[in-house]
Structure 1
Amino acid sequence: MKEVEIYTDGACSGNPGPGGYGTILKYGVHEKELSGAYENTTNNRMELMSVIKGLESLKEPCKITIYSDSKYVVDAVTKGWVTNWQSKGWMRNSKEKAKNADLWQRLLQLAEGHQVRWVWVKGHADNEYNNRCDRLAVNAIKNNTRLPDNHI
């Protein structure tokens, strides 16, 4: 299996508000940058989109290390929250729906067949790729070609 690193970040100007994602895929010496923006969304949705867009770019099963500064994303997967929500019909508890179930379902489906390792990195710190992803996300918001959130 090919070994791929996926660096991710999401950003929002207001929460909710205009939001963007930035993703960098690394395979050996090759790098691919992805970014996009949505008109009215949340930071957590953009964090998830950054992972989804990276996974959608893969054409075959890979060993993947996903780097994210989002505790929401990394903890939901590594601590089993997302599988618990899924097993309860996308409910957090008996009264509260899990947020972003549509994106979690996409992410889980895209991750199938891959070997995925999740790594949390401190945001706005010394991780060059995380900082680049942040710039990609912020610049995507600024470039004014934002899609409606229902196009996610």
Structure 2
Amino acid sequence: MEFTVYTDGGCHGNRRDAGCFGGYGFAILDPSGAIIRQGGGVGENTTNNRMEMKAVIMGLKILFLELSINYDGPDHDCIVKTDSKYVCDNYSDYLPEWKKNGWRKSKGGEVLNKDLWKEMDKLTPEFKSFKFQWVKGHHRDKYNILVDGIAQENIENMKAHHTHKQGDNK
């Protein structure tokens, strides 16, 4: 059986200033296409790419738990659909090389977001098969639109909470 995880992440400010906020969303679909879980989270002083990766990581963790509790374990096919070329391309094109090079780029440079790449790399072998599929962002795919909405709502809630906290300190 194939389970699908839709993910999206975003960031207002993208680490250009100290007050930037990020958020992510995910939705997990069972083989019939029904949503079995959805959620998201936030980050402060982060980037779009880190939020895209956090969406994948949290979606996979929740799927793993869901399969362990309500199905016969994680030995199922998993496809992650995301509008992040950064995640899709780096996972398939560069991750194996980074691992082989001790988590360094081919010319010796540091791998950006290495902590999250390592975490993602530990999760993907848990499934019978695993792959990414790029989807065009915010364009007719109702589940991509859904997870983008979750990410944006989380960002707005974080901004509102932060503004409220600053007001309490005056």
Give the TM-score normalised by the residue count of structure 2: 0.79
Partner of 1:13: 12
Per-residue Cα deviation, 1:89-112 (whole angstroms, up to 9, x for no partner): 111133410001100111010111
Alignment of structure 1 residues 137-148 onto 2, 5 Å: 137-144=151-158
Partner of 1:149: none
Q: Which structure has the larger Rg over C-alpha atoms?
A: 2
Partner of 1:103: 116
Match of 1:84 among 97, 105, 117: 97
Select the structure that is richer in helix.
2
| Structure 2 contact 82–144 (Cα < 8 Å) conserved | yes
**Count of paired positions:** 144
| Structure 2 contact 27–35 (Cα < 8 Å) conserved | no
Select the structure that is richer in strand.
1
| Structure 2 contact 97–106 (Cα < 8 Å) conserved | no
Give how far 1:30 is off: 3.8
Supply the distance in 2 between the matched residues of 1:31 and 1:134 (Cα, whole angstroms): 17
Give how far 1:126 is off: 1.1
Query: Which blocks of at least 5 consecutive residues in structure 2 are unaligned?
Result: 163-170
Supply the distance in 1 between the matched residues of 2:51 and 2:152 (Cα, whole angstroms): 11
State the one-letter code of the partner of 1:6: V
Give the alignment's Cα RMSD to 1 decimal. Answer: 1.5
Q: Which runs of 4+ in 1 moved over 2 A?
A: 28-31
Q: More relative contact order in 1 or in 2 (CA 8 Å, sep 6+)? A: 1
